[in-house]
């Protein structure tokens, strides 16, 4: 399939009573006129990125040369390249794509398997994950179903709400986790919470952490609340909650915390760090928690 700017993209419904849809092709992403296309739909006036399926065809406007159009910059941004350090905006994944990719990888799914579940082309899924895109509602719903989540979650809905507001599963089962299970769950690294005693009372703060040589390690600043853990016994907690299935787990570590100052030990921690602290700034103080007590719990349906 090849098109020019100004051509019409026509989608014929597969069923006899299905609605026929058409729109003007207002953007080409490849110089040879192959998909995907930016289409302004005649029924809504909206412009969306479209990967035509087998039920689509192009109605050509004769005499028009094939031209490409760079994706438009967001409102208020004159030079998209300046925002991304010289990289075209089309080469930067959007929030939707990042959420899709993160959820897919969290579940250990390949792009091919996810695309098969969502009844879409793997190349389309790759484009969604790697570029800003605005798929139609039907595509979004299929993708959410393939990942066992909701369209709202993929779009960032509820990001400012605390987890756990949904309904509990029928006949939930709460079981204790063994030390080995706890270590496996901890080893995924990410964000955990450290509970410390301060001059103003107990405090719990989130930190980006690593597990290195069975110890919990995180970076902070010398005068932060998280730094108050040094020289005391603290509690460290990490958990994961699945809002859709109302399942989840938590692991609690209790043990002494110390500042890591030896150059070789600091170098080892820096070499094994997976991420930078989300809080930003200069955070060069490493704190290590040696687990003395390790416990965990998991909530699942009773039949699992």
- 10 Å CB burial of residue 200 (0-12, 13-18, 19+) is exposed
198/249 same-domain check: yes
Residue with tokens 């704190």, as numbered in its chain? 287
Tokens of 260: 């890591």
Q: What is the CATH number of the domain that holds 276?
A: 2.30.110.10
In which element (H, E) is residue 266 found? Answer: helix 263-272
Q: Which domain holds residue 285?
A: 172-301
pTM of the model: 0.54
148/182 same-domain check: no
The span from the CA of 297 to the CA of 212, in Å, is 22
285/191 same-domain check: yes
Which of 233, 222, 234, 221 is closest to 195 using CA atoms? 234
* Other Cβ atoms closer than 10 A to 81: 14
Three state DSSP letters for 106-141: HCCCCHHHHHHHCCCCHHHHHHHHHCCCCCCHHHHH
The residues that bridge with 255 in the sheet, in sequence order, are 234
176/296 same-domain check: yes
Domain termination site, one of 108, 127, 154: 154
- 10 Å CB burial of residue 295 (0-12, 13-18, 19+) is middle
DSSP one-letter string for 175-208: EEEPHHHHHHHHTT-EEEEEEEEETTEEEEEEEE
Does residue 78 belong to any structural domain of this protein? no
- pLDDT (tens digit, 0 to 9) for every residue of the chain, 304 residues total? 888 888 889 887 655 555 678 888 878 777 788 888 888 888 887 878 888 887 888 988 654 443 333 333 333 333 333 333 333 333 445 688 888 998 899 888 999 999 999 888 888 888 888 888 777 788 888 898 898 887 877 887 666 666 666 667 677 888 999 999 999 998 877 899 999 988 889 999 999 999 988 899 999 999 899 999 999 999 999 998 876 667 889 999 999 999 998 999 998 888 888 778 878 878 889 999 999 999 999 988 877 6
Residues comprising the chain, all counted? 304
176/255 same-domain check: yes
Does residue 160 belong to any structural domain of this protein? no
291/185 same-domain check: yes
Is-contact 203 194, C-beta < 8 A?
A: no
When divided into structural domains, the chain yields a total of: 3
Does residue 64 belong to any structural domain of this protein? no
The span from the CA of 27 to the CA of 133, in Å, is 13
Tokens of 230: 């040094």
């Amino acid at each position: 399939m090849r098109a020019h700017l100004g051509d019409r993209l026509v989608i014929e419904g597969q069923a006899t009573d299905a609605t026929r849809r058409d729109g003007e092709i207002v953007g080409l992403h490849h110089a040879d006129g192959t998909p995907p296309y930016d289409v302004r739909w005649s029924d809504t006036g909206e412009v969306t990125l479209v990967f035509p399926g087998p039920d689509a065809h192009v109605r050509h406007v004769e005499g028009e040369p094939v031209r490409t159009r760079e994706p438009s910059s967001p409102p208020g941004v004159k030079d998209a390249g300046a925002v991304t350090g010289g990289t075209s905006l089309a080469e930067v994944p959007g929030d939707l794509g990042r959420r899709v990719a993160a959820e897919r990888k969290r579940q250990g799914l390949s792009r091919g398997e996810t695309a098969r579940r969502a009844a879409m082309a793997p190349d389309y899924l790759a484009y969604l994950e790697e570029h800003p895109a605005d798929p139609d509602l039907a595509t979004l719903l299929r993708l959410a179903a393939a990942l066992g989540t909701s369209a709202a979650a993929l779009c960032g809905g509820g990001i400012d709400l605390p987890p756990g507001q949904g309904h509990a599963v029928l006949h939930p089962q709460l079981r204790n986790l063994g030390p080995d299970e706890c270590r496996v769950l901890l080893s995924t690294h990410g964000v955990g919470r450290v509970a410390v005693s301060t001059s103003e009372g107990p405090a719990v703060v989130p930190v980006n952490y690593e597990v290195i040589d069975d110890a919990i390690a995180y970076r902070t600043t010398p005068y932060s609340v998280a730094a108050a853990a040094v020289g005391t016994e603290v509690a460290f907690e990490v958990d994961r909650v699945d809002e859709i299935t109302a399942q989840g787990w938590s692991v609690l570590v209790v043990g002494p915390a110390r500042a890591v100052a030896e150059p070789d030990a600091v170098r080892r921690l820096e070499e094994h760090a997976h991420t930078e602290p989300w809080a930003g700034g200069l955070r060069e103080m490493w704190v290590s928690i040696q687990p003395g007590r390790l416990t965990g719990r998991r909530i699942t349906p009773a039949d699992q």
